[in-house]
Amino acid sequence: MSDADFLSILRQHWGYDSFRPLQLDIIRAVASGRDTLGLMPTGGGKSITFQVPGIAFGSGVTVVVTPLISLMKDQVDNLRRRRIKAVFFHSGMTGSEQRQAWETLVNARARLLYISPERLGNERFMAELRNIDVRLIVVDEAHCISQWGYDFRPAYLEIRKLRRLKPGANVLALTATATPAVAVDIARQLEMRDAAVFRKSFVRDNISYIVRPADTRIHEVFHILSRTSGSAIVYVRSRRRCREISDFLNSSGISSTFYHAGLDYTLKEERQNDWQRGDVRVMVATNAFGMGIDKPDVRTVVHFDLPPSLEEYYQEAGRAGRDELPSYAVLITSPRDPATLRRRVTESFPDRRIIKKIYELVCVFLHIDVGEGYDVLREFDISKFCATYKIEERQCRSSLRLLSQSGYLNYIEEPDSRSRVRIDCTREELYHTDRLSANAETTLSGLLRTYPGLFTDFCYILEPELSKATQLGEREVYEALLELNRAGIATYIPKSSVALMHFPTAREETTSLIIPTTVYEERKKAMSARVERMIDFAFSDKGCRVERMLEYFGEEHAGDCGKCDICRAHGRKKTKVSGADAVTKVTAYLESKPGGATALMVEHDCGLQAASVAEALSFLCNEGYAICDNNFYKLEQS
């Protein structure tokens, strides 16, 4: 296969005329059969590096291991829209859905198979996979396999079984954030042989990293957004704060919406689309927002709370400026932050006795007896569970995470179980269907018009979308779908927002539970070290912030960035600018920008203090030399 073949596939299915940096290098290595490690920052286009060769192989399957169910679904949906056959398996699927997926994989010869890492621990799944021709094994979010990674998941260790089951398949490991120690551990854990390593620089020259101490964070968010323009994301660590900050911004004249994992899928989709179209300027979100979203023109990313690691901060801040234009990553801090982060380390590792007790209570709550429960999947309402047994929810979540890392259960919190429909009869049989209500007939017709592929596989549907297509109310659509289900014409699985609990092993006696040192003490030590590096980044002024962040990721950088708040403050100390000089500088700068500029752009590019910029812009506007339109300044035409 030549570069021309790969480019032809890219043009045919994605419409791009060229690859992004490193993509073609990785594709060549993968196609040649080499084990490959790709270190590509957020927005680098990792999925293309395995989807293109997966198509180019012509036969055989590319298995993609990924931890996020929602991202797995979105990628498969996107591939199907591009007429590329793909299926997925995860722990939240019903038996019927799994059988249908196997039929599609075998009979329709799907090119890509997405799986959650927990599937690899299922003996039945592995036995069926033995008969599949696997050409390539892809490990997305590969840092999850390293105990030194910030999001270690023991289920990823099962990937070694897949390597041994399919020794002829080479491995592609991809991650956006890996320290040198994590990169080495990834290669070791995946038993890579003579791996080709491709590392894209972590430098983002167009992003200015700024730390802003603030007594009142919410007012600082308003201050930042009122002095910048363009699309923005505000990251917070609390679902409750999402709504509070969004409401505050809207009441202050800045259009915003909010997003977190607890929202209904339809609402999440609607809000994400509103923000991506630019109908609302600001998305206030938890870290549940951002994976797989490639909006190029995000001008500002604000962190309302201090993230627990530089990996997470870099990944979230990196969603700014993917179009390579000047952008800002602003981290708001308060003197209380270091103590808060250090307390989170303690809270994340409850006493082992508490962890074991919560395991016992979960089994009682879900009616799982000792020796039973292997591969059982049950709905699990964590709020009801905590209220029933008077357990603090944060402590419960931490315990469930450690139990998952120890291999006893998997708490699947992603409430992205969208409604699904599959037609269960042939087209000819549909013509002879009778005794359906008018609403059911209309809904069936709307389904066939709106969603292709219903006869071969389950399709995700949105009841509000179907309501618009049929001019029926959402309740009428829901009842019509149930009628089609009862008539045996279609299988309808309504959406659910309830989390799931999966038991990869039978229930153990509580006294037999083992929380390994690698999961508890070593992970606690590693988390504490990451927290201290994050605190140092945010609160120390001992040098350029970008220089220190790159050093953490094992990358050398030629000198200070000149753009972070520390570099800019250092530059200002060298040249103090008077009021008249500031006006002259700002006027000259605006003359060079006929389209105008924000105050933050002027401050950044002219190396002026914020107060000097504000005074200069105020003077120019008051005297009629400049105008301000929605926080965008430009000179009046003379």
- Three-state DSSP at 55 gives helix
Q: What is the mean pLDDT of residues 436-465?
A: 87
- pLDDT of 160 higher than 50: yes
Distance CA 182, CA 186 (A): 6
Phi first, then psi, for residue 66 (nearest 5°) are -140, 145
In the chain, % of residues over pLDDT 90 = 52
Range picked from 60-74, 169-183, 256-270, 443-457 for highest mean pLDDT: 169-183
Neighbours of 298 (CB within 10 A): 24
**Cα torsion through 225, 228, 230, 232, rounded to 10:** -40
Q: In which element (H, E) is residue 628 found?
A: strand 626-629
Query: In order of start, what are the domains of the chain with their CATH numbers?
Result: 3-199 (3.40.50.300), 207-340+528-539 (3.40.50.300), 350-415+498-519 (1.10.10.10), 419-493 (1.10.10), 575-635 (1.10.10.10)
Mean pLDDT over 293-299 rounds to: 85
Q: What is the pLDDT of residue 518?
A: 85
CA distance 159 to 139: 8
Per residue in 567-581, pLDDT tens? 988 775 444 445 667
Mean pLDDT of 526-539: 95
Residue 513 pLDDT: 95
The answer to whether residues 286 and 261 touch, using CB atoms and an 8 Å cutoff, is: yes
The pLDDT, as a whole number, for residue 623 is 62
pLDDT at 21: 86
**Tokens standing for residue 496:** 């659910």
The C-alpha atoms of residue 314 and residue 178 are separated, in whole angstroms, by: 11
Average pLDDT over residues 307-319: 93
- Which pair of structure tokens corresponds to residue 209? 């990293």
pLDDT at residue number 123: 83
Q: What is the DSSP letter of 319?
A: T
Confidence band of 542 (pLDDT split at 50, 70, 90): confident
Asked if 9 and 56 count as a contact pair (C-beta separation under 8 A), the reply is yes
pLDDT surpasses 50 at 436: yes
> Which residues have CB under 8 Å from 497's CB, separation 6+?
262, 264, 265, 415, 417
Specify which of 140-149, 239-248, 315-324 reaches the highest per-range mean pLDDT: 239-248
For residue 269, the one-letter residue type is: E
pLDDT (0 to 100) of residue 470: 94
Where is average pLDDT lowest: 132-136, 323-327, 550-554, 606-610? 606-610
Distance CA 442, CA 512 (A): 57
The pTM (predicted TM-score) of the whole model is 0.76
Mean pLDDT over all residues of the chain?
Answer: 88
Contacts of 523 (CB under 8 A, 6+ apart): 147, 152, 349, 405
> Is 89's pLDDT higher than 90?
no
What percent of the chain lies above the pLDDT cut of 70?
A: 95
Q: Are 340 and 306 in contact (CB under 8 A)?
A: yes
For residue 92, name the pLDDT band (cuts at 50, 70, 90).
low
Q: Mean pLDDT: which of 85-89, 143-147, 338-342, 612-616 is highest?
A: 338-342
Res. 541: pLDDT tops 70 = yes
| The predicted structure's pLDDT at residue 630 | 67
Mean pLDDT for the stretch of residues 425-452: 87
Structure tokens at 491: 């299988």
Model confidence pLDDT, tens digit, residues 192-227: 988 999 988 888 889 999 999 998 999 999 999 998
Locate the DSSP E strands across 90-127.
112-115
Q: What is the pLDDT of residues 112-156, one digit of tens each?
A: 999 988 888 888 889 989 999 999 999 999 999 987 777 788 788
- 3-class DSSP state of 31: helix
User: Which token pair is 186?
Assistant: 């990834």
**Distance separating alpha carbons of residues 378 and 150, to the nearest angstrom:** 28
Residue 638 binned pLDDT confidence (cut-offs 50, 70, 90)? very low
pLDDT at 489 over 60: yes
Q: Furthest-apart CA pair in the chain: how many Å?
A: 85
372: nearest Cα among 199, 276, 503, 241? 503
pLDDT digits (tens, 9 = 90+) for 384-430: 999 999 999 999 999 999 999 898 998 887 645 678 898 988 888 88
pLDDT (tens digit per residue) in 459-488: 888 888 899 999 999 899 999 999 999 888
Distance CA(41)–CA(44), nearest Å, equals 6
Among 332, 41, 19, 24, residue whose Cα is nearest residue 204: 41
